[in-house]
Amino acid sequence: MQPSAVANTTNLTASPSQFYSWQNYRCAYEVHQPINTTSEGVPLLLIHPIGVGLSRQFWQRFCREWYDKGQRNSIYNPDLLGCGESDMPHVAYTPSDWAEQLQYFLQTVVQRPVIVVVQGALLPVAIQLVQKESNLIAGLVLSGPPAWDLMTNKPPEWQEKFLWNVLDSPFGSAFYRYARTQTFLRSFSTRQLFASENAVDAEWLNTLIAGAENLASRHAVFSFLAGFWRDDYTSSIASIGQPTLAVMGETASSISQDNKKETPDERLAHYLACLPQGRGIKINGRNVLPYESTAEFVAAIATFINEVS
């Protein structure tokens, strides 16, 4: 069950869960609309991060704040395959799989251009979606994009397969059972995601615990951990013609295993040097800005979205 605080407030703006069928899989989404007024501007398409218990619920605080601040864009908030209320087949997921799912969603459900708001290392999904369906993407917001070396260096294929095989085993199942405990989730969130330990609150932890309850949710997480999202995206990023805003946390860190230290300013500079229509901004926070710095994140992107709209 969701924490009641989340359930009560999101009912104000969100539709009940809706479903569509893609490649015989049942995929979930919700639509948010402004309260007591008509929607305006280009709709937003939110791409949630992948991780233990993560799903479209990641965006609930953002959606509430968006309308609290008087914004009127409709919001489409889907669960990627393997997450949330979508089906969870036992497969090794790639960014291309999720991009194809979202392409179908845009073509059949949304049926008009959107501004993509993508969190963290799901950026490769947004990049591939632009390549597949450029006409339905009006602009992009990159929330806490990954370290530049992670986006420009592909690991050896044997390494990805080896990691997947280790994780896709009884060892992996046991690890996931531990990884979905409150102890692990609090520790990981404090070490890797949030700028402040106090921001790792009950709403966050309860949502992750609920999202990881189905053990089949591990397949999407393990696909991510194996590195199937890693590649050299330099030329793909350079080919994005749409206006793009990169939002970086002042204390952004990397999950990269190598010893390359990259400051948030350096990371931002790498992206802006590559993006033809890019602009960038830094705000307080670390790696999960729409959740930990919701008000600042909304303020940071609202002007950009209104311009593109």
Query: Per-residue DSSP letters for 45-112?
Result: EEEPPPSTT-SGGGGHHHHHHHHHTT----EEEEPPTTSTTS---SS---HHHHHHHHHHHIIIII-S
Instruction: Specify the pairing of strand 18-22 against strand 25-32.
Output: antiparallel
Instruction: Specify the pairing of strand 114-119 against strand 18-22.
Output: unpaired
Could you give the CA distance from residue 192 to residue 225 in angstroms, rounded to a whole number?
A: 14
Q: Which of 10-24, 140-154, 201-215, 228-242 has the lowest mean pLDDT?
A: 10-24
Residue 93 has pLDDT above 60, yes or no: yes
Region 135-145 average pLDDT: 98
pLDDT tens per residue, range 205-216: 999 999 999 999
Q: Which of 2-16, 29-43, 76-90 has the lowest mean pLDDT?
A: 2-16
The structural domains of the chain, with segments of one domain joined by +, span 4-308
Region 75-95 average pLDDT: 97
Residue 164 has pLDDT above 90, yes or no: yes
The pLDDT value recorded for residue 10 is 40
Report the DSSP beta bridge partners of residue 137: 114
Question: Domain 4-308 classified CATH 3.40.50.1820?
Answer: yes
The pLDDT value recorded for residue 8 is 37
* CA distances to 29, 48, 91, 110, 308 from 34, in Å: 17, 21, 37, 17, 19
Could you give the CA distance from residue 302 to residue 164 in angstroms, rounded to a whole number?
A: 39
Region 53-63 average pLDDT: 96
Q: What is the mean pLDDT of the chain?
A: 92
Q: Which of 60, 51, 49, 47 is nearest to 2 (CA)?
A: 60
Q: Is residue 253 very low, low, confident or very high in pLDDT (cuts 50, 70, 90)?
A: confident
Non-local CB neighbours of 16 within 8 Å, separated by 6+ positions: 30
Q: Look at the alpha carbons of 282, 224, 198, 205 in this order and tell me if their dihedral is positive or negative.
A: positive
Region 92-121 average pLDDT: 97
